[in-house]
Amino acid sequence: MPYLFTSESVSEGHPDKLADQISDALVDHFLAFDPDAKVACETLVTTGQVVLAGEVKSSVYLDVQKIAREVIRKVGYTKSDYMFDANSCGILSAIHEQSPDINRGVERQDKEEQGAGDQGLMFGYAVNETEDYMPLPIYLAHLLLKELSAIRREGEVMKYLRPDAKSQVTIAYDNRKPVRIDTIVVSTQHDEFDTDERMAARIRKDVLEILIPRVKSKLSPEVQQLFTDQITYHINPTGKFVIGGPHGDTGLTGRKIIVDTYGGKGAHGGGAFSGKDPSKVDRSGAYATRHIAKNMVAAGLCDEVLVQVSYAIGVARPCGFFVNTFGTAKVPLSDEEIAARIIELFDMRPYAIEQRLKLRNPIYQETASYGHMGRKPQTVVKKFYSPDRGVLEREVELFTWEKLDYVDLIKEAFKLPK
């Protein structure tokens, strides 16, 4: 049955994503110096102002203003014309100590019985539409803005670009398979032009002749074929986008949770990720279920799958574990039977998840723009600074939940061909 499905993305300069990146930079710095830190921090950004708030239990002292300014500078807010500038914006910190009532439910003498940092439900999803096992609409929406950001940073063409941007992609499906791209929306912040008419024409021309070819070049031949002359393009449809970023719209941590996951495909439990250490199962549970879902599809167990886990605060073992293969399973088992075998392969207690996915490392700032899922696992060296402990370099592994390291175990458990 044919239908249209739409997903959106936002750039690292979008005010909500800027807030996410600041919050996750703080998480990373706490974890770099104190791997047992408990962090839940929120950021608000608006015209010329940043507000940091939240709860922390840690032995390290950080210069949170310095960390926030470095993030803002890296994103590209470095000019007074933007009405939000890394060097001059005011930064207020209202971070305080974590509630002992919460902490008592998390820490245990036996680390393996560490309780969940909150109640809640988390979902993981995977589908074989792309090489990263992500839904095609969000995959393309992210890629459009990654390339737009790369063009801005290179500074060779489209020199009028500013940091804030949004994209949206509508895909036509038939039989649950993508058959064509119906609509692409790109809205990018830009410098002033001499006339609005020249501005609109120039940006449209550059998006179609510079951005779209760069995006297509990074896609498989199958996806490239979906770019036809029949696509409807809406490029800066309001006609002007000079005022943007925190000056144009207040930004808050955790307001782009659908952009962070699957673009509305599958499901979302409702909890945000950024600003939270991995004892918060909103984050670690979502990563663990994505890891399970991706390995299930990659193993050939199914073409599409949604995995849910749920927790009670202070309790280690999940309240529930659910699998939906949408009728695409390749084995003669019910989804309930599949779930029972999968939970035997993956220990879903919070401490086990932290250990399996190496989540007590400072790996989170990179997750805070262009999605937490569908990214490439990689090892990088990162630098951190504390006034009382100096500079620290750490080699860390990013996006561990995207590794296909359980494929063979799943194949063996379900007697799938190797």
Mark whether 212 and 308 lie in a shared domain: no
56-102: per-residue pLDDT in tens?
Answer: 999 999 999 999 999 999 999 999 999 999 999 999 999 998 766 55
Per the annotation, where are the binding residues for ATP? 14, 164-166, 240-241, 249, 255-256, 272, 276
Mark whether 288 and 239 lie in a shared domain: no
Per the annotation, where are the binding residues for K(+)? 42
178-236: per-residue pLDDT in tens?
Answer: 999 999 999 999 999 988 899 999 999 999 999 999 999 999 999 999 999 999 999 99
Q: How far is CA 51 from the centre of its chain?
A: 22
pLDDT at 102: 55
Contact 383, 391 (CB under 8 A): yes
pLDDT at 413: 97
Alpha-carbon span 363 to 181, nearest angstrom: 34
232-235 and 177-190 beta bridge pairing: parallel
Alpha-carbon span 402 to 125, nearest angstrom: 12
Q: What angle do CA 69, 74, 76 make, to 5 degrees?
A: 100
Mark whether 307 and 215 lie in a shared domain: no
Alpha-carbon span 387 to 343, nearest angstrom: 44
Strand partners, 392: 384
Which of 246, 270, 297 is at the close of a domain? Answer: 246
Alpha-carbon span 301 to 329, nearest angstrom: 6
Mark whether 404 and 304 lie in a shared domain: yes
Lowest mean pLDDT segment, chosen from 104-118, 376-390, 400-414: 104-118
Judge whether residue 12 has pLDDT over 90: yes
Alpha-carbon span 15 to 46, nearest angstrom: 8
Whether residue 178 is contained in a domain is answered as yes
Q: Where are the beta strands (DSSP E) in 87-149?
A: 90-97, 120-127
Burial 380-397 (b: 16+ CB within 10 A, else e): eebebbbeeeeeeebebe
Which of 246, 262, 294 is at the close of a domain? Answer: 246
Contact 375, 402 (CB under 8 A): yes
Alpha-carbon span 83 to 77, nearest angstrom: 9
284-338: per-residue pLDDT in tens?
Answer: 999 999 999 999 999 999 999 999 999 999 899 999 999 999 999 999 999 999 9
pLDDT at 63: 97
pLDDT at 114: 79
DSSP 210: I
Per the annotation, where are the binding residues for L-methionine? 55, 98, 249, 280
What is the average pLDDT value for the chain, to the nearest integer?
95
Alpha-carbon span 120 to 101, nearest angstrom: 17
Mark whether 237 and 304 lie in a shared domain: no
Per the annotation, where are the binding residues for Mg(2+)? 16
231-279: per-residue pLDDT in tens?
Answer: 999 999 998 999 999 999 999 999 999 999 999 999 999 999 999 999 9
Provide the residue range defining the domain that includes 201: 3-10+136-246
Mark whether 397 and 294 lie in a shared domain: yes
Mark whether 306 and 230 lie in a shared domain: no
Alpha-carbon span 35 to 180, nearest angstrom: 46
Per the annotation, where are the binding residues? 14, 16, 42, 55, 98, 164-166, 240-241, 249, 255-256, 272, 276, 280
Count of domains observed in the chain: 2
Q: Which CATH number does the domain housing residue 308 bear?
A: 3.30.300.10
pLDDT at 97: 86
Which of 201, 224, 246 is at the close of a domain? Answer: 246
pLDDT at 265: 96
122-149: per-residue pLDDT in tens?
Answer: 999 999 999 999 999 999 999 999 999 9
pLDDT at 377: 98
- Which residues does 202 contact at the CB level (< 8 Å), separation at least 6? 160, 193
pLDDT at 106: 65
